[in-house]
Amino acid sequence: EIVLTQSPGTLSLSPGERATLSCRSSQSVSDNYLAWLQQRPGQAPRLLIFGASSRASGTPDRFSGSGSGTDFTLTISRLEPEDFAVYYCQQYGSSPWTFGQGTKVEIK
Amino acid sequence: QVQLQESGPGLVKPSETLSLTCTVSGGSINNFYWSWIRQPPGKGLDWIGYISDSGSTNYNPSLKSRVTISVDTSKNQFSLKLTSVTAADTAVYYCARENGVWSGDYTNYYYYGMDVWGQGTTVTVSS
């Protein structure tokens, strides 16, 4: 089973700042099948990025994904108030699909 | 647009079977894969398994002995059964669409991620 480790656990930033979230895999992610999801309190997760760098429908262009193999990054160029949430990476290249433990982006 | 809705009992007794259904509206269940995911209170996400419209399944080994996912294309629904539940199975249960496309010969499915999620349903295991 692939283990995904996200860092940092919590990111304290102000609106307008840049956020950089990391996701490291215990093994190479096949076909770069790596997704990023956003979860706001009390809501279901929402797909932001798939295939490591492709934005899902409706994802604002301030969100970008990069990386390959075992190291992946989600960047939010300028934080908007609605971006303060928990972010999960997820790999779907090897069964079982697995999620990282999450990074909470909170208002500083 | 496609919407998913989970339904089923919110309270299940220990050792009994948890049964949930996900109804797909605004689109067809055909030509996609469909997953169940759960989230224990205050914790992260765990993938339970998926099913194709033709009934092919893949389960998380951690739950494989207790899980069955089935599909009813005539009702545009798929379902989850989890047997012998304990308090550790208390969670919000989500269904989701595994977006993707089939190869021309329908032998390979190229995934584009879980792009549509249900709102989630809370299941508590307690006597």
Tokens of residue B75, six digits: 């009702």
Q: What is the mean pLDDT of residues A81-95?
A: 97
Q: What is the mean pLDDT of residues A19-47?
A: 97
How big is chain B, counted in residues? 127
| Chain B interface includes A17 (CB < 8 A) | no
Look-up: residue for tokens 């205050």? B42
Is residue A16 left, alpha or beta, with left meaning phi > 0 and alpha meaning psi from -120 to 50?
A: left
Cβ count within 10 A of residue A102: 19
Task: Give the single-character DSSP code of A97.
Answer: P
Q: How far, rounded to the nearest angstrom, does the alpha carbon of residue B33 sit from its chain's CA centroid?
A: 10
* Interface list for chain B against chain A, based on CB atoms closer than 8 Å: 35, 37, 44-47, 58-62, 94, 98-99, 111-115, 117-120
Distance from the Cα of B93 to chain A's closest Cα (Å) equals: 10
For B4, the closest chain A residue by CA position comes to: A44
Rounded Cα distance between A52 and A74, Å, is: 9
Give tens-digit pLDDT for B9-66.
Answer: 999 999 999 999 999 999 999 999 999 999 999 999 999 999 999 999 999 999 999 9
Tokens of residue A98, six digits: 């697995």
Give me chain A's average pLDDT, please: 97
Q: What is the mean pLDDT of residues A21-38?
A: 97
Task: Report the residue of A30, A92, A104 to disrupt the B interface, i.e. the one with the largest count of B CBs within 10 Å.
Answer: A92
Q: Which of A26, A42, A45, A25 is nearest to A34 (CA)?
A: A25
| Chain B interface includes A67 (CB < 8 A) | no
Give tens-digit pLDDT for B51-108.
Answer: 999 999 999 999 999 999 999 999 999 999 999 999 999 999 999 999 998 888 888 8
SS3 content of chain B, % helix, strand, coil (to 5): 0, 55, 45
